[in-house]
Amino acid sequence: MDTLFSYRNMKLPKTIERLPELAYNLWFSWNDDAKELFAMISRELWDQFLHNPVRLLAETHPDVWEPLSKDTAFLKQYGKVFRQWDEYSHADTWFEKTFPEHRQQQFAYFSAEFGFHESLPIYSGGLGVLAGDHCKSASDLGLPLVGIGLLYKKGYFNQKINKEGRQLSEAVRYDFSKLPLLPAFNGQDEWLTVQLQLADRTVQLRIWQVLVGRVSVYLLDADVEENSPWDRELTAQLYGGDQDTRIAQEMLLGMGGVKVLRALNVPTAVYHINEGHAAFQAYERIREQLEAGVPFHVAVEIIRASSVFTTHTPVPAGHDAFPLHLTDYYLSPLLTRWAEHKEGLIGLGLDEGKQLFNMTHLALNTSALRNGVSKLHGEVSREMFRSIHGHIQTNEVPISHITNGVHMNSWLAHELKELYGRFLPGTWLTNQTNHDLWRQVELIPAESLWETHTRLKEKLIGYARSNLREHRRRNDMPAHLVEEVGGYLSGKALTIGFARRFATYKRATLLFKDLDRLDRLVNDPDRPVQFMFAGKAHPADQPGQDMLRDIYLVSRMERFRGKIVLLENYDMNMARYLVQGVDVWLNNPLRPYEASGTSGQKAAMNGVINLSVLDGWWDEAYEGTNGWRIEGDFSADPQAQERENTDSVYRLLEQEVIPLYYNQGPLPAQWVDRMKRSIMTLAPVYNTHRMVMDYTHSSYMPTLNRTLSFLADRNELAVKVADYKSFMKANWHFVKFLEINDGSGERALNPAGTVKELGQPLKEVTATIKFGPVWYMDTAVELIYYEEQEGHWQPVVVTMSPVKEIDNRVMKYRAMIPSHLRHGAHFSARIRPVSPNFATSFELPLITTL
């Protein structure tokens, strides 16, 4: 511990001695009273240190504590906060009540980034914030969840924008001793380290612990003296470096992460990987099984049964793929030790067509349960990964969806929590997934909601002005340009926000396709509109940085001065101001690349109305009255979509949004109605409590139960499943259709003539199948035809039943289908393996079709 002074143990006067305990638990970040308590120590330092309570404690002058420990107002707040904290840490939880029998086994949650709070900058955008919110809700709900991630010495990067609108990425080196993290200890009270074999060497990793309410997140840090300079830089930067750094980082995360769980003796039955970055966890666990003498094919089944994979983007660049020589090199310790399984191991991640090692393939092949992050993204992912699942229908590809949400207590404005508290039942926050409760938003007087919203908007404008002022001051702009920022933006004007990573598919500059039309909107003296933009572009993403620059240049045009602004260094702090303070949240990605999107969910619960392309979560959330939909033909080419979407945004603004906002004097009653519709319909659904409950019910618990049953009696069931799959793979080629008789023109075949069912004349179809060594009961025989439903052709699957054994291992099957269908032209038949021990119907992609 020598070099590290932990402020957790700092001595404070008795009456306030528990402050460090609070500072070292990120629970403070979603408790407004706790944040206020820290602000009371020094509002100036609290803001200056980006709301980092550890740094605040460390750098507050020691003379401050004595008087503070006797300050009545402070002590009152202190008492209030610790009562809540103690109550929180001891309360009965949803998980304990729902699953009283399962408290031992932990759910491990791996993520390359975690966005908990602005004070711990180990996130770049939505993926990290989602992971942070996941952990927070897991804590609130009492899940036995443990997080695994990396600790980046330089975080992501701080964005500075220069006078020409160019993004400069400022490198930062964080002083870990002043962040809300603690060294993780091993059993002997020593700092925990783990070793990982990487290529030709061993990398030492130091482990840190982040407390997130009841949940612990362990972060791996390679910046230790024993490592070579190159290795020390492995955890320097999130999404930085080249392919070498990237694959090494992912090995640290996945394989190192498993070692951390072992070193801490965490009994783990579920391994959830948040995006493919952590997929190497499978290799470390297969290695453990092999070392324990478990055969390779059984090891793979055990690992698959206990892994859950969430895929997060349809953008190809979001799926890491490495040249095979890199995997060969970095995985050489594993591949040399288990040379006889090299092909099997690499095969799990091999993209055969491209001859690349693909982390998403590895994740899919080693996880029984997989999901996308919205209904639409589920569909898109099934289409994307259909080809690696054999000849099955798109809707049968075993990838489901669990729609993302956001942590309400972190994102909902304090002022609105108070307002909701007055009109909703007392349990509204705990029972936030209850729709009935949210209907009572109706009871909130329009004036109160509008007044609260207006205050939040004023707060945002103040924040935005100081951001702009700072930008100009730093860029040595003339004093009058710095000062005039004080007159920028108006609390009365309709305010539209757009903030997110500047990935090109998000099309941040869509609105600028017609500057004259925009000019007319913005500069209408009776109905002014203003825009706020913010977001970081990845330092290697030139087109993203160009978009940023375009926005900057537009914001500097005389006609848009003070009405279109670009704020710098978007982070969670700024995100809170924006999603709580604007009137409209704009999102115009190229469909379907926005897998979910979560900033609009944050906005919605704050009464901010979404104006968005029907992509990601909005595709399932929009219902006609709770926001607006940007239109366009999704099947058109990208340029055409861009034109249509642009035109639609302008039209909506001109004809619907602006008129509604400026409808009736100072209180736009119909606007407030829409705000209420938005809150009422969206808040109960698009929160992480609902999301984490969904994961628990549909992923974690089934995975836990299946894993425990696989492992019982010395892996008995795992062996059975693995042997079954091996047998099926080896013998499937014997399974053949000998004949299909669709009774064309021979209705007499059906003794009862045509049977009418659901108004359709039916007929009998028979199939003769040779099974060879495969037992017919281990298969399903099905007919597939297409039916038009709501304008789409949907596959219909009809199961055939065995009728009689014709010959040794030759069986006849029958089924009834609509009589007009002809084999080949209208329907096909297929045979597939089935097993009650599969997690999903198409777990084994062996399909025979005719």
Ligand X SMILES: *Cc1c(COP(=O)(O)O)cnc(C)c1O
Interface residues with ligand X (CB under 6 A) are: 125-126, 129, 500-501, 570-572, 575, 597-599, 602
CB nearer ligand X, residue 423 or residue 622: 622
Instruction: Please name the helix (run of DSSP H) or strand (run of DSSP E) that holds residue 249, with its range, or none.
Output: helix 243-251
Kindly state the tokens that stand for 624: 């006609």
Q: How far is the CB of 795 from ligand X (least distance, A)?
A: 33
CB nearer ligand X, residue 257 or residue 607: 607
The CA–CA distances, whole Å, from 793 to 395, 763, 796, 812 equal 12, 21, 9, 30
Q: Are 657 and 611 in contact (CB under 8 A)?
A: yes
Q: How far is the CB of 257 from ligand X (least distance, A)?
A: 24
Task: State the Cα–Cα distance between residues 428 and 418, nearest whole angstrom.
Answer: 11
Q: How far is the CB of 311 from ligand X (least distance, A)?
A: 15
- Please work out, in degrees rounded to the nearest 5, the angle formed at the alpha carbon of residue 23 by the alpha carbons of 52 and 240: 45
Task: State the Cα–Cα distance between residues 666 and 447, nearest whole angstrom.
Answer: 10
CB nearer ligand X, residue 416 or residue 735: 416
CB nearer ligand X, residue 318 or residue 802: 318
Q: Are 543 and 556 in contact (CB under 8 A)?
A: no
One-letter amino acid of 109: Y
Q: How far is the CB of 579 from ligand X (least distance, A)?
A: 8
Q: What is the β-pairing status of strands 193-198 and 609-613?
A: unpaired
CB nearer ligand X, residue 77 or residue 313: 313
Query: Any idea of the CA torsion for 513, 516, 522, 526, to the nearest 10 degrees?
Result: -150
CB nearer ligand X, residue 303 or residue 582: 582
Q: How far is the CB of 598 from ligand X (least distance, A)?
A: 4
Of 467, 521, 468, nearest in space to 495 by CA: 521
Q: How far is the CB of 484 from ligand X (least distance, A)?
A: 28
CB nearer ligand X, residue 598 or residue 646: 598
Task: State the Cα–Cα distance between residues 44 and 707, nearest whole angstrom.
Answer: 52
CB nearer ligand X, residue 113 or residue 764: 113
Q: How far is the CB of 575 from ligand X (least distance, A)?
A: 3
Of 432, 286, 341, 299, nearest in space to 715 by CA: 299
- Residue 536 phi/psi, 5-degree rounding, is -100, 145
CB nearer ligand X, residue 28 or residue 283: 28
Q: How far is the CB of 133 from ligand X (least distance, A)?
A: 9
- Residue 398 phi/psi, 5-degree rounding, is -75, 65
Task: State the Cα–Cα distance between residues 18 and 86, nearest whole angstrom.
Answer: 11
Q: How far is the CB of 507 from ligand X (least distance, A)?
A: 12
Interhelix angle 446-474/669-682, rounded to 10 degrees, is 90
Task: State the Cα–Cα distance between residues 145 and 127, nearest whole angstrom.
Answer: 18
CB nearer ligand X, residue 432 or residue 580: 580
CB nearer ligand X, residue 306 or residue 599: 599
- Residue 783 phi/psi, 5-degree rounding, is -110, 140
Prior bond to 62 cis, omega within 30?
A: no
Burial class (CB in 10 A: 0-12, 13-18, 19+), 266: middle
Q: How far is the CB of 210 from ligand X (least distance, A)?
A: 18
- Residue 350 phi/psi, 5-degree rounding, is -80, 125
Q: How far is the CB of 500 from ligand X (least distance, A)?
A: 3
